[in-house]
């Protein structure tokens, strides 16, 4: 007799799928993508049906039965299943774990995929024949029956509010006069398309871009929308999305930062009314489930979200936009190390929709793909408001007497802009008061015990904190090594500059914007509201301020430390710095008033600083691409890393060496890869563990994957050491 065996994905870090027998006494059909409850060891887990096989004469004793099928209609559609399978192969990560990314937490844990439900009461047919007078002796019951005759149905809550007790309700239910039932309340029921702003009249470049995207409807074309800061990229995709929405389809917009979500959501709502929704990690489970249902049932047209939104099921996807495509936040840096941008490209391919990568500073990977005609380039070369790009001035700090890290030029310029009623943005990508603390007597320094890093001094509240492992210590009263209390706080962080600016410009408001000052939900938004009022003020902040924001009244951007990151050990360092500097500078002079940028540097003749001051990002990126090409590093080869971490440095190293030496790799596979390492990570010790890494380069993607497949099967071998935590990173972006 033939019998079904069901392969189930289980959310555990193993590569296998597990086989089960259908539930006992099962009558309903089992479908791929439906959730099931399964016995797993001594636990019961929620798994997802992956495949069904007909097998002759299986030994039924070897398998357990599925306990329960949770979904009659599968929650995952064919394209989600395809995306999951592809990413599991591409990132060499277990499918069972990847599947979890497709569901909000409660659905992952087995809860029904439903909107919030409300309980209602209605009359039964028996109840409808009942005359209210018959209940004269039970006035409360009489009241409820009268109400229901009048209104047909009421919520249980309103019945209770009318003073009718639960006992009364239950009494009538028991007698069969009334019925209690539940109904889902969709938060998207009454959404309307109310536009507040009218579409802008596009300039010729914008028009060309919108037309190209519109013409790509229903096909998979990858666009690079390469437009300088403030060139009206957002306006372009707002108008392109209009066409998608007109055709009854949905748009998915990926943004890099939660901090950008409220601003983006507002702009889309002004344009598209209420059928816009955002999705990110700060939402609670209820909100996530609502968004998930709204997207999958097609109740909302536009979804704006951070990285994880790339997994959202959409009823009828029409376009994907990846805003600030160069941003590192699209890459998850632990566990499942996916790039949301690259998954978006694949998703667009399987769903046959256009995808738009937008940036003023595209990544080198993207520029290379564009140069090879894999992407169609839509160029916006002018600022949309007619403003010109800011002018640049490098201030040579050598030999200068500084005021808490600020040069006379920058202070004078700040003063002058404030007195004209303008806003000034001061950028320092370092939070806290000072990045280190030293004992003047014995030279003790505030090392973190768990990392190869110094602890940062914080003043508000006062403490020492490591920014790599978040370890905290009280601010020392005396030196732990010599007992003196004569300390030097060395270097500058945003808190320290804030203190100085407060004293130096007492009449102007200084708003410090970094992840410490905006920890409370909504603070960031309140700050942006304050900035938009346009009063003269100083915005002092980290990269939180650099990305995507439109501050029309900022006329001066001061970069306190343009040298940070110039001498990075990571070959991607220069690319990052150039992107960040260009983005920060792009906040200046975006509206009517012209802007300027002052960069403070100790090496103003460093080619990179020169390039930022005199040239354009495009030109700099071209140079970097040539360098990468001649040394055959990404994007001119493909890279993956294998990381190992453990409490002992040599154990991490030997783990990688062992895997490498004991794994048989055929010569024809070996030939296609270049292996570098194992080497200690740039910060070897972090959070108390020692990290080593093996870099693998290949000139062909498939060559890289073939090698990784072999490594992966070895790494997942149950006999492999449990003392070491390891991971595979395909297309790694950082070594930190
Ligand atoms: P980006 O996304 O490239 O940074 P935005 O779309 O935010 O640029 O546009 C920058 C500013 O220019 C915004 O205030 C926007 O309203 C305005 N803008 C965009 N397109 C036009 C246009 N065609 N005409 C006038 N103003 C425009
Ligand atoms: Zn000391
Ligand atoms: Zn630390």
Ligand 1 contact, 384 CB (< 6 A): yes
Tokens read off for 707: 């090698």
Cβ contacts of residue 559 below 8 Å, gap of 6+? 427, 581, 584, 585, 597, 598, 599, 600
Angle in degrees, 0-180, between the axes of helices 233-246 and 261-272, rounded to the nearest 10: 50
Looking up tokens 């004293």 gives: 503
Backbone angles phi, psi at 204, to 5 degrees: -55, -40
Q: Are 38 and 56 in contact (CB under 8 A)?
A: no
Q: For 652-661, what is the mean pLDDT?
A: 94
Average pLDDT of the chain is 90
CB 367, CB 334: distance < 8 Å = no
Residue with tokens 């007492």: 506
Beta pairing class for 18-20 and 68-69: unpaired
What confidence category does residue 193 fall into, taking pLDDT thresholds of 50, 70 and 90? low
Q: Which ligand is nearest to the CA of 264?
A: 1
Tokens of 734: 């950082």
Is residue 532 lining ligand 1, measured as CB closer than 6 Å?
no
690 alpha carbon – ligand 3 mean position (Å): 12
Measured CA to CA, the distance from residue 719 to residue 711 in angstroms comes to 14
Percent of the chain with pLDDT over 90: 62
Q: Is the peptide bond before 408 cis (omega within 30 degrees of 0)?
A: no
At residue 589's C-alpha, the angle toward residues 585 and 593, to 5°, is 160
Cα separation, 569 vs 213, in Å, equals 40
The single-letter DSSP state of residue 570 is: S
Structure tokens given for 687? 């959070």
CA of residue 275 to ligand 1 center, whole Å: 22
Vertex 607: Cα angle to 605 and 611 (nearest 5):
105
Strand-by-strand arrangement of the 462-465 sheet: 456-459, 462-465, 472-473
Residue 40 to residues 9, 106, 176, Cα–Cα distance (Å): 11, 19, 43
The token pair that represents 669 in the structure block: 């596979």
Cα end-to-end distance, the chain, whole Å: 57
Instruction: Give the separation between CA 431 and CA 435, rounded to whole angstroms.
Output: 8
Q: Are strands 250-254 and 276-279 parallel, antiparallel or unpaired?
A: unpaired
Report the C-alpha gap between 590 and 255 in whole angstroms: 21
Residues 6+ positions from 378 with CB-CB distance below 8 Å: 205, 208, 209, 212, 213, 223, 224, 225, 226, 227, 236, 356
Determine the average pLDDT of the residues in 169-186.
85
Q: What is the pLDDT, as a whole number, of residue 167? A: 87
- Cα 698 from chain centre: 28
The β-bridge partners of 65 are: 21
Is residue 191 within 8 Å of 275, Cβ to Cβ?
A: yes
Q: Distances from the Cα of 280 to the Cαs of 254, 261, 304, 308, in angstroms?
A: 10, 8, 9, 7
- The domains located in the chain, with CATH, are 2-108 (3.40.1440.60), 117-184 (1.10.10), 204-380 (3.40.50.300), 391-434+491-627 (3.40.50.300), 638-730 (3.30.70.600)
What's 574's DSSP letter? Answer: H
Torsion sign over Cα 333, 355, 107, 62: negative
Looking at residue 1, its pLDDT comes to: 40
Q: What is the mean pLDDT of residues 669-676?
A: 94
Minimal CA–CA distance to 223: which of 372, 375, 365, 363?
A: 375
The side-by-side arrangement of strands in the sheet containing 117-123 is 153-155, 117-123, 178-184
CB atoms within 10 A of CB 479: 19
User: How far is Cα 379 from Cα 373, in angstroms, rounded to an integer?
Assistant: 14
- Residue 641: which of 707, 702, 578 has the closest Cα? 707
Determine contact, residues 644/693, Cβ cutoff 8 Å. yes
Q: Which candidate, 500, 521, 535, places its Cα nearest to that of 512?
A: 500
pLDDT tens-place string over residues 418-431: 999 999 999 999 99
Complete DSSP assignment for 297-354: TT--SEEEE-GGGGG---SSEEEEEEETTT-GGGB--SSS--BHHHHHHHHHHHTT--
235: Cβ below 6 Å to ligand 1? yes
pLDDT tier at 546, thresholds 50, 70, 90: confident
pLDDT tens, position by position, 41-90 = 899 999 999 988 877 677 777 889 999 999 988 999 999 999 999 999 99
The number of C-alpha atoms within 13 Å of 353 and in the hemisphere containing its C-beta is 24
Which atom of ligand 1 is least distant from the CA of 201? 23
CB of 363 closer than 6 A to ligand 1?
no
Decide: 583 in ligand 1 pocket, CB within 6 A. no
Residue 684: which H helix or E strand, with range?
strand 673-686
Report helix, strand or coil for 682. Answer: strand
Instruction: Give the Å distance between the CA of 478 and the centre of ligand 2.
Output: 8
429 lines ligand 1 (CB under 6 A): no
pLDDT value of position 190:
60
Residue with tokens 């998608």: 244
Alpha-carbon distance of 314 to 293, in angstroms, equals 9
Q: How far apart are CA 90 and CA 343, in angstroms?
A: 10
Query: With left for phi above 0 and alpha for psi between -120 and 50, is residue 226 left, alpha or beta?
Result: beta
189 versus 643: the higher-pLDDT residue is: 643
Strand order in the sheet with 537-541: 391-396, 596-601, 554-559, 423-427, 537-541, 509-513
Is residue 561 over pLDDT 80? yes
Q: What pLDDT digit, counting tens, does each position of 381-420 carry?
A: 988 888 888 889 999 999 999 999 999 999 999 999 999 9
Q: Check if 669 has its Cβ closer than 6 Å to any atom of ligand 1.
A: no
Contact 693, 677 (CB under 8 A): yes
Strand order in the sheet with 355-359: 276-279, 302-305, 250-254, 317-323, 355-359, 222-227, 376-380
Per-residue pLDDT of 318-345, as tens digits, reads: 999 999 999 999 999 999 999 999 999 9
Mutation probe of ligand 1 site: the residue of 201, 230, 359, 532 with most atoms within 8 A of C-beta: 230
Asked if 497 and 406 count as a contact pair (C-beta separation under 8 A), the reply is yes
Structure-block tokens of residue 165: 């007790």
Alpha-carbon distance of 91 to 97, in angstroms, equals 12
Inter-residue contact 494 to 561 (CB < 8 Å): no
Q: Which of 197, 225, 235 to mutate to test the pocket of ligand 1 (most atoms within 8 A of CB)?
A: 235
Cβ atoms of 547 and 539 within 8 Å: the answer is no
Q: Which residues surround ligand 3, an ion (CB under 5 A)?
A: 448, 450-451, 466, 468-469, 471
Mean pLDDT (whole number) for 500-507: 95
Q: Which residues contact 518 (CB under 8 A, 6 or more apart)?
A: 259, 524, 527, 544
Q: For ligand 1, what atom is nearest to the CA of residue 550?
A: 7
Q: What percent of the chain has pLDDT over 70?
A: 98
Ligand lying closest to the C-alpha of residue 484: 2
H/E stretch holding 506 reads none
**Alpha carbon distance 283, 291 (integer Å):** 10
Question: Which residue in this structure is represented by tokens 């774990």?
Answer: 97
Return the structure tokens found at 621: 């990126």
Q: What is 383-438 written as a DSSP string?
A: -TTSPPPPEEEEEE-TT---BTTB-HHHHHHHHHHHHTT-EEEEE-S--SSBSEEE
- Which 3 state secondary structure label does DSSP give 546? coil
Region 241-254: mean pLDDT is 95
> What per-residue confidence (pLDDT) applies to 735?
59
pLDDT tens digit string along 464-475?
A: 999 999 899 999
């Amino acid at each position: 007799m033939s019998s079904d065996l069901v392969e189930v994905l289980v959310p555990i870090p193993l590569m296998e799928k597990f086989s089960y027998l259908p539930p006992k006494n099962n009558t309903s059909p089992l479908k791929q993508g439906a959730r099931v409850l399964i016995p797993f060891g001594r636990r019961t887990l929620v798994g997802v049906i992956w495949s069904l096989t007909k097998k002759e004469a299986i030994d039924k004793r070897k398998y357990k039965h599925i306990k329960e099928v949770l979904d009659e209609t599968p929650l995952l559609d064919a394209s989600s299943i395809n995306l999951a399978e592809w990413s599991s192969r591409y990132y060499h990560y277990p499918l069972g774990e990847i599947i979890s990314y497709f569901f909000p937490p409660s659905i992952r844990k087995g809860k029904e995929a439903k909107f919030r439900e409300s309980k209602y009461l209605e009359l039964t047919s028996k109840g409808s024949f009942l005359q209210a007078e018959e209940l004269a002796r039970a006035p409360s019951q009489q009241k409820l029956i009268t109400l229901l005759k009048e209104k047909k149905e009421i919520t249980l809550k309103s019945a209770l509010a009318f003073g009718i007790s639960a006992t009364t309700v239950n009494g009538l239910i028991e007698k069969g006069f009334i019925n209690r039932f539940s109904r889902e309340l969709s938060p998207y029921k009454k959404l309307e398309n109310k536009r507040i702003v009218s579409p802008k009249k596009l300039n010729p470049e914008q028009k060309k871009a919108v037309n190209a995207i519109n013409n790509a409807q229903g096909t998979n074309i990858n666009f690079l929308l390469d437009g300088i800061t403030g060139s009206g990229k957002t306006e372009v995709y707002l108008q392109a999305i209009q066409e998608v929405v007109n055709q009854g389809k949905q748009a998915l917009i990926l943004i890099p930062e939660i901090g950008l979500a409220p601003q983006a959501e507002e702009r889309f709502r002004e344009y598209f009314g209420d059928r816009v929704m955002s999705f990110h990690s700060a939402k609670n489970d209820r909100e996530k489930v609502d968004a998930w249902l709204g997207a999958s049932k097609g109740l909302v047209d536009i979804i704006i979200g951070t990285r994880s939104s790339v997994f959202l099921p959409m009823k009828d996807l029409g376009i994907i936009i990846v805003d600030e495509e160069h941003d590192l936040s699209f890459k998850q840096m632990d566990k499942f190390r996916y790039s949301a941008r690259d998954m978006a490209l694949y998703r667009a391919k399987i769903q046959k929709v256009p995808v738009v990568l937008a940036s003023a500073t595209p990544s080198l990977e993207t520029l290379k793909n564009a140069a090879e005609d894999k992407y169609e380039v839509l160029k916006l070369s002018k600022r949309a408001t007619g403003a010109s790009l800011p002018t640049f001035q490098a201030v040579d700090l050598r030999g200068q007497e500084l005021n808490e890290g600020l040069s006379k030029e920058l202070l004078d310029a700040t003063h002058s802009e404030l007195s004209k009623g303008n806003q000034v943005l001061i950028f320092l990508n370092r939070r806290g008061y000072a990045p280190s603390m030293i004992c003047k007597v014995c030279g003790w320094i505030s090392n973190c015990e768990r990392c190869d890093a110094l602890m940062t001094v914080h003043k508000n509240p006062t403490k020492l904190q490591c920014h790599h492992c978040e370890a905290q210590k009280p601010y020392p009263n005396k030196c732990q090594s010599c007992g003196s209390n004569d300390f030097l706080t060395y270097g500058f962080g945003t808190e320290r500059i804030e203190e100085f600016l407060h004293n130096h410009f007492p009449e102007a408001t200084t708003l410090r914007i970094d992840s410490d000052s905006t920890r409370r939900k909504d603070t960031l938004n309140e700050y942006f509201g304050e900035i938009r009022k346009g009063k003269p003020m100083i915005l002092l902040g980290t990269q939180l301020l650099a990305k995507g924001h439109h501050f029309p009244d900022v006329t001066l951007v001061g970069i306190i430390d343009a040298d940070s990151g110039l001498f990075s050990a990571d070959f991607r360092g220069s690319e990052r710095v150039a992107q960040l500097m260009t983005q920060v500078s792009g906040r200046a002079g975006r509206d009517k008033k012209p802007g300027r940028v002052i960069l403070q540097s100790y090496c103003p003749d460093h080619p990179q600083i020169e390039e930022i001051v005199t040239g354009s990002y495009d030109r700099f990126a071209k140079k970097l691409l040539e360098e990468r090409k001649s040394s055959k590093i990404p994007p001119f080869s493909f890279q993956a890393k294998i990381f190992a971490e453990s409490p002992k440095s040599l154990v991490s190293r030997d783990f990688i060496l062992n895997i490498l030496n004991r794994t048989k790799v055929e010569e024809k596979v070996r030939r296609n890869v270049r292996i570098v390492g194992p080497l200690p990570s740039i910060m070897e010790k972090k959070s108390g563990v020692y990290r080593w890494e093996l870099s693998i380069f290949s000139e062909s993607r498939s060559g890289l994957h073939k090698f990784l497949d072999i490594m992966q099967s070895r790494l997942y071998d149950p006999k492999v050491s449990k003392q070491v935590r390891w991971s595979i990173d395909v297309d790694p972006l950082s070594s930190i």
